[in-house]
Amino acid sequence: MIRLALTSEDILKCLVVRGIVFIEEQEVDWEGEIDEFENTSTHILGEVDGQPVAAGRLRFIDGWAKLERVAVRPKWRGQGLARDIIAFLMAEADRQGAKKFKLHAQVYLKDLYEQFGFHQEGDVFDECGIPHILMLREES
């Protein structure tokens, strides 16, 4: 089940998922993962049988809806949860009036985001020690 994280407990569950995926698995520093935007972002939570298994975050920056922190715990990968989180983030951004979307994708996930109409803009860059690309999608 994918839904908005509306309570402090829901947001804590999102942070747990992100901690497992980004801090533990991908070795991102705490300071690189948890930032000053946590309290002003829209958080998305994915649960299976009450267990937090997926998360994502949405922010609005200069007229762009920015999809961030899409994470799925290892045991639950391969079941389409990342796609579900991305679709939910896109729908929520659309509900809030977004017409332009952007994200920083880990390079190996480029094809996944292209399925949602994103395209690469610019060259590969380093973010928290991981190769990323800027991807954009603009509605006509």
Query: Is 4's pLDDT higher than 90?
Result: yes
- Domain range holding 79? 2-98
Query: Is 47's pLDDT higher than 70?
Result: yes
Evaluate whether 113 touches 18 at the Cβ level (below 8 Å): no
Supply the mean pLDDT for the chain.
Answer: 96
Which pTM does this prediction carry?
0.94
Evaluate whether 56 touches 68 at the Cβ level (below 8 Å): yes
Residue 53 lies in a domain: yes
Domain of residue 13, CATH code: 3.40.630.30
Residue 89 lies in a domain: yes
Residue 136 lies in a domain: no
Question: 41 versus 140: which is more confidently predicted?
Answer: 41
pLDDT at 130: 95
